[in-house]
Amino acid sequence: MSDISAGPVGQLRLAPSILAADFGYLAAEVRAVDAETDWVHVDVMDGHFVPNVSIGPPVVSSLRLHSKKFFDVHLMMTQPEHYLSSFAKAGADGCTVHVEIGRTAELIAQARSLGLRVGLAANPDTPFSAVEKFMADIDLLLFMTVFPGFGGQAFIGDVMDKVRQARELVNAKGLLLDIEVDGGINEDTVPIAVAAGANVLVAGSAIFSQADPLAAASQLRYLAVNAQS
């Protein structure tokens, strides 16, 4: 874990997903969008929870030397308990586990004890009730707007019902909680997600697969700010 702050809860955050970056130039890719982005979203896939594998703690520790951004690590894993400590040591600032794997209270407590900011993620077909009971115990609620495993998929708009419910509850109860969306976030879907109540926007291909990633990030931020007001 580093001592980098996530910034004020509820504030608009653009989190580029490095899954869409060129891994051969990872540090340069992240640095290139520094000025128009807030966090760095790290997608960890274990080949069990999702049918794909991506990166692990060594990549996080290497990248840590090249970025002072908040590292938002999304653990698409069936056994994150075996890796939370390695990610914390590697320089993760926040770790998000999936509610579908169970043992949620224990995982939250473990991540908390490691000094991590704690997130809980829900797949598109996971009901709001599955995450609702943990909302007072976490720092970030991640609603997947695609089925996890791959970048470049189409946004599932139905998930906005859950985002709206979560935002209403956060407002009603004064919870200190970020609401994040991940998957298919682009120029068309940013306004929809922000209007529903999301404040952390993960975007992979809409940033790193563009000819000018910095300009693409800047445009996403502009659209998000406009949708907020």
Which of 3, 178, 182, 188 is the catalytic position? 182
Instruction: Give whichever of 18 and 138 is closer to ligand DX5, judged by the CB atom.
Output: 18
Q: What minimum distance in Å lies between the beta carbon of 15 and ligand DX5?
A: 9
Cα angle 50-207-95, degrees, rounded to a multiple of 5:
45
Q: What minimum distance in Å lies between the beta carbon of 90 and ligand DX5?
A: 18
Indicate which single residue of 1, 6, 19, 179 sits in contact with ligand DX5 (rule: CB under 6 A): 19
Q: Is 125 a catalytic residue?
A: no
Size of site (CB under 5 A) for Zn ion: 3
| Contact status: 203 vs ligand DX5 (CB under 6 A) | yes
| Contact status: 80 vs ligand DX5 (CB under 6 A) | no
Instruction: Give whichever of 76 and 84 is closer to ligand DX5, judged by the CB atom.
Output: 76
DSSP codes joined into one string, 124-167: TTS-HHHHHTTGGG-SEEEEESS-TT-SSPPP-GGGHHHHHHHH
| Contact status: 162 vs Zn ion (CB under 5 A) | no
Residue nearest to ligand DX5 (CB): 204
Coil, helix or strand at residue 117: strand
Q: What minimum distance in Å lies between the beta carbon of 96 and Zn ion?
A: 8
Cα–Cα nearest to 131, from 158, 98, 109, 155: 98
| Contact status: 74 vs Zn ion (CB under 5 A) | yes
Size of site (CB under 6 A) for ligand DX5: 22
For residues 141 and 97, the answer to whether their CB atoms sit within 8 Å is: no
| Contact status: 43 vs ligand DX5 (CB under 6 A) | yes
Indicate which single residue of 97, 185, 194, 201 sits in contact with ligand DX5 (rule: CB under 6 A): 185
Token output for 61? 């520790």
What is the rounded distance in angstroms from the CA atom of residue 155 to the CA atom of residue 144? Answer: 9
If you search the block for the tokens 């982005």, which residue do you land on? 37
| Contact status: 197 vs ligand DX5 (CB under 6 A) | no
Indicate which single residue of 107, 155, 182, 190 sits in contact with Zn ion (rule: CB under 5 A): 182
Backbone φ, ψ for residue 109 (5° rounding): -65, -40
50, exposed or middle or buried, with CB in 10 Å at 0-12, 13-18, 19+?
buried
- Give, in order, the Cα–Cα distances in Å from 44 to each of 194, 196, 211, 215: 25, 27, 25, 26
**Residues at the site binding ligand DX5, with contacts judged by CB under 6 A:** 17, 19-20, 41, 43, 74, 146, 148-153, 182-185, 202-206
Residues serving a catalytic function are 43, 182
